[in-house]
Structure 1
């Protein structure tokens, strides 16, 4: 198993990618510590991925609050003795549009979650991650977006893309800073990802166009090299790899998981 005997903290657990990351980590042998703002989502995810409760713990945590980040990290140490990897799924992606008509206070809100929140959560986990690094390997896995390197045409999310682009820049600096401590820092960059978010978009687009959802889905799939869009679970598998010792020679890297829609 990729993650046997490892403890992984996952922030931003919800019905989509966060849930799939938690499930993949447990499936690969990890103990997981789950954080999100909503207790109901956390409880549902923990029950689904770890029915007997022996390999999971959770608590509500808003990554905009430094104390709550520290409490989530402390839970991992108290329950399982340390942190081997932290995966940052928590994000704000509901601010739409470009710059011209933007409310820049909304951009600040996006940056506070997607950039600064991720860094707050990373810093809270650093003492335990460095201990893991001293034992052989610690890992930080960030979730980026294809839109930070290739602006989409269907949906404009300039604030989200900019925040995730800034996070990639931070990743490079962190990889240098934490490398001497045995801690790796990498980013998984999804493109279109079949899961609750895209399912909702497809339903909305189909209603707006007066077409069947299957037609909208087929149009999206046709953009891919495979040709089918990746699923939330595909992204979660890449996350599990980066969190594992199989990636112990990899740091400061971005991996596009996008079914070949955009290549660089």
Structure 2
């Protein structure tokens, strides 16, 4: 343990930190769940997949899970009721749930697909936050991490519902940081870039098909827009969450933090 200016700086989480994670059974969410549990957190997650939830429960039998779609108010209410019962309180919320949304020109995207993307990616974060905040206040403060995207900084042609939602998360985050700061609640957004895994493979494939080029050509074009010329992993994103929830991040709030290898444009 090092000391700086008379203060103890601890690299790790408060023992038994109580954390709720939406879509915490697969992808980035699962990486976050695994890492926080490894560092001593008590976690309750939700997901929409029975298979992913079963796998999570098998790996982490001492932690809670609820099947829930964050775009549905009743599901979110059940999720938080279950979390309160299993955790006994709350120290942190990770608003992670999201979908890629449709690929297409604005005149080609259906209203149904637009609404579905906004409902999950943006409204879902509101529905979780509104129930988490009273619990965080009751605990004397805590942290909220909202998952945005590089698309929330640069915009994203042919992915307008997704980009609109991710820009909205930035405004949501900065507003909540101001609103909740006096209650000792820190609120930050993480902006992943091109994260390796099935979701980006689907996105690249859809865009390649739209342009009539090969997947490898499209992937190369994506990586040319990243300064480090590589994708990031879900574990890179999880490491940023760990930092923000640890004492090392106790004075970081209202920030939009890229974990993206420096995406220059989209």
Per the shorter chain, which TM-score range? 0.7 to 0.9
Question: In the alignment, what sits opposite 1:123?
Answer: 130
84, 90, 104: which is aligned to 1:83? 90
CA distance in 2, matches of 1:35, 1:95: 23
Q: 2:250 aligns with which of 231, 248, 251?
A: 248
In the other structure, the counterpart of 1:104 is 111
Q: Find the aligned partners of 2:94 and 2:249 in 1 and give their Cα distance.
A: 15
The number of residue pairs the alignment matches comes to: 252
Supply the RMSD in Å over aligned alpha carbons.
Answer: 2.4
Measured after TM superposition, the shift of residue 222 of structure 1 is 4.3
How big is the shift at 1:105? Answer: 3.6
Q: Deviations over 1:125-173 (max 9, x none)?
A: 12211122x1xx41111000111221346xx311011011112111121
Q: What does the per-residue CA deviation read over 1:6-37, in whole Å, with 9 as the maximum and x for residues that have no partner?
A: 01111013431111111111122111101012
Query: 1:70 is matched with which residue: 46, 62, 77?
Result: 77
2: CA distance between counterparts of 1:95 and 1:12?
19
Give 1:57's match in structure 2, choosing from 51, 55, 64: 64
State the shift of 1:68 in Å.
Answer: 2.2
Match for residue 7 of structure 2? none
Query: What TM-score, normalized by structure 2, do the two folds share?
Result: 0.85
- Preserved CA contact (<8 Å) 2:225 2:264: no
Tell me the CA shift for residue 204 of structure 1: 7.0
> Aligned equivalents of 1:58 and 1:45: distance in 2?
8
Aligned to 2:149: 145
State whether structure 2 residue 166 is matched by structure 1 residue 164. Answer: yes
**Tell me, which stretches of 5 or more residues in structure 2 are unaligned?**
1-11
CA 1:219–1:110: 2 relative to 1, 3 Å? closer
Question: Residues of 1 paired with 2:106 and 2:43: CA distance?
Answer: 38
- The equivalences for 1:179-190 within 5 A come to 179-190=181-192
The 1:244–1:21 alpha-carbon spacing in structure 2 relative to 1, beyond 3 Å, is: same
CA–CA distance in structure 2, aligned partners of residues 96 and 243 of structure 1: 34
The answer as to whether partners of 1:2 and 1:28 remain within 8 angstroms in 2 is yes
Counterpart pick for 1:36 among 42, 47, 50: 47
Contact 2:101 2:114 in 1 (8 A): no
TM-score by length of 1: 0.85
Runs of 4+ in 1 over 6 A off after TM superposition: 203-208
Cα distance in 1 for partners of 2:202, 2:115 equals 26
Q: Is the contact between residue 11 and residue 34 of structure 1 (CA under 8 Å) also seen in structure 2?
A: yes
